[in-house]
């Protein structure tokens, strides 16, 4: 339209009529691009993939928690009509074992079975039923062994693994061990086994490549690591294995355990055919990693005014049979064992040990969630002992910027803990049901339950939690992103997996903000792109978001340079908004399309935050890049005769640095709180002598809409973290960490019982009725 690009239209960019919420760019509640497809059921997940002539895979899993494998006879299975390949440990061409930190987990168990559900063999056949029948027809002779299921026994038990039973030991020592406080409280806490329970169970499709490699289509959250692990097991160069990330049906831990992908690709290489594997819910529960069940023993010393003097703790993580991410979980548990409180003297000893229980690994907030439940239990005990208000006691001890963690690391990021706690404390309490109409009451036990108003007690509890962001202890946290602009449309290429955390939406907003381009697409992820690291610890918001911003800024410079040159001003004096480029003085005004002039602009950039260091022999070191904090006030109703609990309301105040997408942030916090409520009340994968009992969603009760409380986001503290891109902190993990402790505190307040075990069992929430 405008052939005079430099026509001055200064008024168009004057102060806006205010205060419309932005519709694009940073700060807008941009909806996810795939939301509609997901709601309509047309979004393709890995379980929906299909290839011509595909075979179906099935895994044979161990029915024992600990057994010696005497022999494996696959002849009957291989002879079944329709069976195309049967593979066992003997058929793994490369490394026999894999692992994220330590390669200690065999692809297929051969000599020993170390946990219930460990894979022993895999079958490919032309029908899923045939594959399952063939897997069942494999004859394995076991010699059952006594399982080690009590982590306390792991120290003295026979080694379950050549590496020994102790995966890591951190004896943190900070301050003076001789100091004692006037008041001492002790407690023993047990945290159960939460399962990530993704809504979509594991699924994948492996397609052999003509060059002898293989492509695996699956919902990996860390595609490059998974590719490297798989390639090593196949004895191939990493370039010949490609992982293509498909739609992720929910991830709060590591999606798609390699123990599932590696056999899949192996079968494809073996048969030369595409092979598909879709796990049943039971297999999903048996195969992937769970939250570490943890045993914690605490002793808190305080002075008469309630100020903490010393914390002593022993923390024992049950890692299951293999190391996985346990060493990092233990570091988080030990480092945050005192919580967001100032503690002058701390002596924390942590162990992660092997058992024959189901495997443990990364589930968001790992380590930090277990200790939060324990140290907050201690704070409640201390408040009761000193007859102080629990919120007031916490306020006397809260951490702030400039304080020192027990690891010796100074808190340099914003730490508005007191502000968060005051916000939830001062938020009005929800009304009691008696003030509303009786038919609207929702008592513990549900709408058709047995709840009796006379037996219901209400309790209010507080908890403060903290997590670290990004990988800790010297992990190289780097991400690479490419931004391309052509024809007024921008494309982002980055191997950061959209797991539901909202990265693709943030990437679109970042590019909109920097380049003023409305239409931004985020390309699908595969391992031909440069690595972006695992989708964990909020790293993609930070590191990949930072890489996208840098790449976009480089494109911006390329775009503006010719204009700036033409008008003799620097690019900083030009701004882009709504697809228009204007100069600071309004002399220049053109559109992005005009400036592009048919050119295609590309830029690639990396983001690598400042390095961290491992914890040393005394648990000291600057191990974390960033910290995020949260305060939760839980209000619960407890039927004190039956012990049923309903969480009425969760009030959350969170330290978010900066809100990049308000609607998305709210959903992340609500999801985290709900997962925390599940961990507090119902979610526990139970085992008996190492065998998983009821691996289904009836036995493992996830919160439903009726179980989810009203979630009030009371305050979002926006103090920008100067080292983080945009100053934003990741938001998903810290509500998961804090919510279970808050629910436990509220049940304590309602019942007067100690509540030292999560999830809270009904018998622990039963109380003698007060005379009234």
Partner 1 sequence: MTTHAPRATQSVTLPATLDAAVAALTAMPAAVPVAGGTDLMAAVNRGQLRPAGLVGLGRVNEIRGWQYQDGHALLGAGLTHARMGRPDFAALIPALAAAARAAGPPQIRNAGTLGGNIVTGAPTGDALPVLAALEADLVVAGPGGTRELPVSHLLTGRELLGPAELVGFVRVPLLHAPQVFLKATGRTGPGRATASVAVVLDPARRGVRCAVGAIAPMPLRPLDAEHWIASLIDWDGDRGLAPEALTAFGEYVAAACVPDPPGDEQLPPAVLHLRRTVAALARRALGRALS
Question: Which of residues 36 and 694 has its CB atom nearest to partner 1 in the complex?
Answer: 694
Identity of the residue, 519 or 707, whose beta carbon is nearer to partner 1 in the bound complex = 707
Q: Please identify, using beta-carbon distances, which residue of 252 and 644 lies nearer to partner 1.
A: 644
Residue with the two structure tokens 């020592």: 173
- Is residue 652 a contact partner of residue 713, using CB atoms and an 8 Å limit? yes
**In the complex, least distance from residue 298 CB atom to partner 1, rounded to whole angstroms:** 23
CB 766 to partner 1: min, Å: 7
Does 61 participate in binding partner 1 (rule CB under 8 A)?
A: no
CB-based contacts of 610, cutoff 8 Å, min separation 6: 625, 723
The residue (of 355 and 684) whose beta carbon lies closer to partner 1 is: 684
Least Å distance, CB 728 to partner 1, is: 34
> Does position 772 bind partner 1 by CB under 8 A?
no
CB of 195 to partner 1, least distance (A): 16
Which residues from 584-623 bind partner 1, rule CB under 8 A? none
Are 111 and 39 in contact by the 8 Å Cβ rule? The answer is no
Ranges within 264-283 binding partner 1 (CB under 8 A): 280
Residue 281 to residue 133: CA distance in whole angstroms: 18
| Rounded CA separation 261/508 (Å) | 30
What does the per-residue mask of binding to partner 1 show for 139-178, with x meaning CB under 8 A?
----------------------------------------
Distances (CA, A) of 755 to 188, 378, 459: 10, 11, 13
Query: What is the spatial distance between Cα 316 and Cα 325, in angstroms, rounded to a whole number?
Result: 15
Is residue 107 within 8 Å of residue 59, measured between CB atoms?
no
Site string for partner 1, 125-144 (x = CB under 8 A): xxx-xx-x------------
DSSP tag of 291: P
Judged by CB under 8 A, the residue of 73, 153, 704, 723 near partner 1 is 704
Residue in the structure block whose two tokens are 């959250």: 221
Closer to partner 1 by Cβ: residue 232 or 267? 267
Whose CA is closest to 742, among 630, 642, 654?
A: 630
Window contacting partner 1 (CB under 8 A); options: 110-118, 349-357, 478-486, 642-650: 642-650
Residues making up the chain, counted from first to last: 772
Q: What is the CA radius of gyration of the chain?
A: 27
In the complex with partner 1, the residue whose CB is nearer, 278 or 603, is: 278
Contact call for residue 448 and partner 1 (CB under 8 A): yes
User: Which DSSP helix (H) or strand (E) runs through 647?
Assistant: strand 644-655
Distance CA 674, CA 726 (A): 27
DSSP output for 149-206: --GGGTTTSPPSSTT-SEEEEEEEEES-TT---SEEEEEEEEE-------SSPPEEEE
Q: Which of 670, 707, 718, 719 binds partner 1 (CB under 8 A)?
A: 707
Question: Which one of residues 444, 538, 546, 695 is an interface residue with partner 1 (CB under 8 A)?
Answer: 444
Asked if 754 is part of the footprint of partner 1 (rule: CB under 8 A), the reply reads: no
Do residues 756 and 377 touch, judged by C-beta distance below 8 A?
yes
Least separation in angstroms between residue 701's CB and partner 1 is: 5
Question: Of 82, 99, 175, 433, which one interacts with partner 1 (CB under 8 A)?
Answer: 82
Site string for partner 1, 327-366 (x = CB under 8 A): ----------------------------------------
User: How far apart are alpha carbons 130 and 764 in whole angstroms?
Assistant: 47
Sequence-ordered list of residues with C-beta below 8 angstroms from that of 572, at least 6 positions apart, any chain: none
Number of residues forming the site for partner 1 (CB under 8 A): 37
Q: Are 230 and 241 in contact (CB under 8 A)?
A: yes
Binding mask 665-694 for partner 1 (x = CB under 8 A): ----------------xx------------
Question: Residue 487, class by beta-carbon neighbours within 10 Å (0-12 exposed, 13-18 middle, 19+ buried)?
Answer: exposed
The least CB distance from residue 450 to partner 1, in Å, is 4
Q: Which is nearer to partner 1, 39 or 705 (CB)?
A: 705
CB of 249 to partner 1, least distance (A): 17
One residue of 11, 304, 387, 705 binding partner 1 per CB under 8 A: 705
Contact positions toward partner 1, by CB under 8 A? 81-82, 125-127, 129-130, 132, 280, 442, 444-450, 452, 455, 641-644, 646, 681-682, 698, 701, 703-707, 761-763, 766
């Amino acid at each position: 339209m405008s052939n005079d690009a430099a026509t001055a239209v200064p008024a168009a960019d004057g102060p806006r009529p205010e205060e419309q919420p932005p519709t694009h760019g940073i700060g807008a509640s941009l909806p996810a691009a795939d939301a509609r497809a997901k709601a309509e059921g047309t979004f393709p997940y890995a379980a929906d993939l299909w290839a011509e002539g595909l075979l179906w895979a099935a895994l044979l899993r161990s029915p024992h928690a600990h057994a010696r494998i005497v022999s494996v006879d696959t002849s009957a299975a291989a002879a079944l009509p329709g069976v195309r390949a049967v593979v066992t440990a003997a058929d793994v061409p490369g490394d026999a074992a894999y692992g994220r930190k330590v390669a200690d987990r065999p692809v297929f168990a051969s000599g020993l079975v170390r946990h219930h559900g460990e894979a022993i063999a895999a079958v490919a056949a032309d029908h899923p039923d045939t594959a399952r029948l063939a897997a069942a027809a494999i004859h394995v002779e076991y010699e059952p062994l006594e399982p080690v299921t009590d982590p306390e026994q792991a120290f003295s038990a026979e080694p379950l693994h050549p590496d020994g039973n102790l995966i890591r030991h951190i004896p943190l020592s900070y301050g003076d061990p001789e100091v004692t406080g006037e008041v001492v409280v002790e407690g023993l806490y047990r945290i159960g086994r939460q399962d990530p329970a993704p809504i979509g169970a594991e699924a994948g499709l492996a397609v052999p490549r003509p060059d002898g490699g293989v492509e695996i289509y699956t919902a990996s959250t860390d595609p490059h690591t998974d590719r490297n692990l798989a390639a090593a097991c196949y004895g191939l160069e990493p370039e010949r294995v490609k992982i293509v990330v498909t739609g992720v049906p929910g991830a709060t831990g590591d999606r798609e355990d390699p123990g599932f992908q590696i056999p899949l690709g192996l079968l494809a290489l073996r048969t030369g055919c595409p092979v598909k594997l879709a796990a049943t819910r039971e297999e999903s529960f048996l195969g992937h990693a769970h939250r570490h069940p943890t045993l914690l023993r605490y002793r808190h010393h305080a002075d008469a005014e309630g100020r903490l003097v010393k914390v002593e703790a022993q923390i024992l993580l049950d890692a299951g049979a293999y190391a996985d991410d346990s060493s990092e979980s233990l570091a988080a548990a030990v480092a945050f064992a005192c919580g967001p409180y100032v503690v002058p003297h701390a002596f924390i000893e942590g162990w992660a040990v092997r058992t024959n229980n189901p495997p443990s690994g990364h589930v968001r907030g790992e380590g930090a969630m277990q200790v939060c439940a324990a140290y907050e239990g201690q704070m409640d005990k201390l408040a009761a002992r000193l007859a102080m208000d629990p919120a007031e006691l916490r306020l006397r001890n809260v951490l702030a910027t400039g304080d020192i963690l027990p690891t010796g690391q100074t808190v340099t990021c914003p730490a508005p803990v007191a502000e968060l706690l005051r916000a939830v404390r001062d938020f009005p309490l929800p009304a009691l049901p008696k003030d509303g109409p009786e038919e609207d009451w929702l008592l513990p036990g549900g709408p058709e339950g047995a709840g009796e108003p006379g037996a219901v007690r209400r309790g209010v509890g507080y908890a403060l939690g903290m997590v670290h962001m990004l990988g800790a202890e010297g992990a190289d946290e780097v991400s690479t992103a490419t931004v391309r602009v052509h024809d007024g449309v921008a494309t982002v290429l980055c191997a950061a997996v959209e797991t539901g955390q909202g990265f693709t939406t943030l990437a679109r907003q970042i590019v909109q903000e920097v380049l003023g381009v409305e239409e931004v697409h985020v390309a699908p992820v595969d391992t031909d792109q440069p690595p972006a690291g695992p989708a964990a610890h909020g790293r993609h918001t930070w590191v990949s978001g930072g890489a996208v911003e840098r790449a976009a800024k480089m494109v911006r410079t390329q775009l503006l340079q010719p204009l700036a040159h033409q008008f003799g001003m620097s690019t900083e004096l030009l701004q882009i908004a709504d697809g228009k480029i204007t100069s600071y003085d309004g002399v220049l005004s053109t559109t992005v399309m005009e400036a592009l002039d048919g050119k295609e602009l590309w830029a690639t950039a990396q983001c690598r935050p400042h390095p961290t260091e491992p914890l040393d022999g005394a648990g000291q070191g600057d191990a974390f890049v960033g910290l995020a904090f949260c305060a939760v006030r839980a209000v619960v109703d407890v039927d004190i005769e039956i012990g049923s609990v309903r969480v009425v309301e969760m009030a959350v105040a969170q330290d978010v640095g900066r809100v990049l997408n308000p609607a998305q942030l709210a959903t992340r916090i609500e999801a985290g709180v709900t997962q925390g409520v599940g961990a507090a009340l119902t979610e526990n994968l139970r085992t008996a002598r190492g065998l998983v009992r009821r691996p289904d969603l009836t036995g493992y009760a996830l919160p439903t809409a009726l179980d989810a409380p009203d979630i009030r986001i009371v305050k979002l503290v926006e103090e920008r973290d100067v080292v983080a891109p945009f100053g934003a902190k990741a938001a998903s993990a810290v509500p998961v960490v804090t919510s279970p402790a808050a629910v436990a505190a509220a049940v304590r307040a309602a019942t007067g019982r100690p509540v030292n075990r999560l999830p809270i069992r009904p018998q622990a929430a039963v109380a003698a009725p007060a005379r009234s």
